[in-house]
Amino acid sequence: MNLADVKTNAFAMPLTNASYPPGPYRFYDREFMTITYRTDMEALRRVVPEPLEIAEPLVKYEFIRMPDSTGFGNYTETGQVIPVRFQGREGGYTHAMYLDDESPIAGGREIWGFPKKFAAPELVSDKDVLRGTLDVNGVRVVNATMGYKHRSLDVEKVRQSLLGPNFLLKIIPHADCTPRICELVEYHLEDVVVKGAWEGPAGIDLHSHALAPVADLPVREVLGATHYLTDLTLGLGRVVHDYMAEDGAAARAVE
């Protein structure tokens, strides 16, 4: 393979058999259970990067069941999203994600910078509750429950809430383990169709784990929970802040 062939074929790793196809990626019957809880402001300050601003000491703990997605297949995901502000706009910063499928782990990390790690999450309806769990290395890390479809929500209001900006910290090391890419990435959900939306009572327990520290953002008060079913496209991202460029400018100023 000559130099031109490498450049032409270099979409993602491995070179000759990429772990995922090019996007965009469409999700059908994507099911969310989101539990909003109050946590400690100091705990949030330790994990949310500037220039993002923390609006309130809140966390949205999400379970997402994805039975049919183009390129990524059938999988389940869970993690923590922190409500933030950026340049006066309200959005969400994805702090942690755990899922059970290699393709979206590779694609999510390499394209956008999603903080994805391999684990065993589950979201199921169990009689009169929606139940979400996360097991990591055989250890139960999260137990969450929600009353099943207790009260219907306005699907248009839910759809509008899904259209706001989402932020990620994309980090890729150099071959010598120094930072090569360190960027704040913004992305949006697109072509969103909400097929149903509900709210109800909820409970969530977070447990300590060395490599899945979700409990570092402790639950102080559960504020509410939503459950909704959607079709949507995961839009590609754009860089809104380049931390490495900032370092380069500082170095040039010193010179």
Task: For residue range 169-197, list pLDDT tens digits in order.
Answer: 999 999 999 989 999 999 999 999 999 99
Q: Is residue 197 part of a domain?
A: yes
User: Quick one: pLDDT at residue 54?
Assistant: 97
250 band by pLDDT with thresholds 50, 70 and 90: very low
55 band by pLDDT with thresholds 50, 70 and 90: confident
Q: Is residue 108 part of a domain?
A: yes
DSSP conformational letter for 70: T
Query: What's the mean pLDDT in 226-253?
Result: 82
Q: Is residue 34 part of a domain?
A: yes
Q: Is residue 249 part of a domain?
A: yes
Tokens of 161: 């809430």
> What is the C-alpha end-to-end distance of the chain, expressed in Å?
41
Contact at 8 Å (CB) between 143 and 205? Answer: yes
Domain range for 208: 18-254
Check pLDDT > 80 for residue 147.
yes
Q: Is residue 71 part of a domain?
A: yes
Check pLDDT > 70 for residue 112.
yes
Residue 218: CB atoms within 10 A of its CB come to 13
Percentage of the chain exceeding pLDDT 90: 91
| CA-to-CA separations, 209 to 77, 129, 158, 214, 217, in angstroms, rounded | 18, 26, 33, 8, 12
Q: With the C-alpha atoms ordered 106, 112, 113, 116, is the resulting torsion angle positive or negative?
A: negative
Percentage of the chain exceeding pLDDT 70: 96
Tell me the per-residue pLDDT of 210-226, one tens digit each, with 9 for 90 and over: 999 999 999 999 999 99
Q: Is residue 43 part of a domain?
A: yes
Instruction: Provide the pairing of β-strand 89-99 with 238-242.
Output: unpaired
Contact at 8 Å (CB) between 199 and 13? Answer: no
> What is the pLDDT of the chain when averaged over all its residues?
95
Q: Is residue 2 part of a domain?
A: no
Check pLDDT > 50 for residue 251.
no
Q: Which residues are catalytically annotated?
A: 116
Check pLDDT > 90 for residue 248.
no
CATH number of the CATH domain containing 244:
2.40.400.10
Task: Identify whether 24 is preceded by a cis peptide bond (ω within 30 of 0).
Answer: yes
List phi, psi (to 5°) of 102. Answer: -65, -40
Three-state secondary structure call for residue 172? strand
Total domains in the chain come to: 1
Query: What's the mean pLDDT in 99-106?
Result: 97
Task: Identify whether 57 is preceded by a cis peptide bond (ω within 30 of 0).
Answer: no
Q: Is residue 161 part of a domain?
A: yes
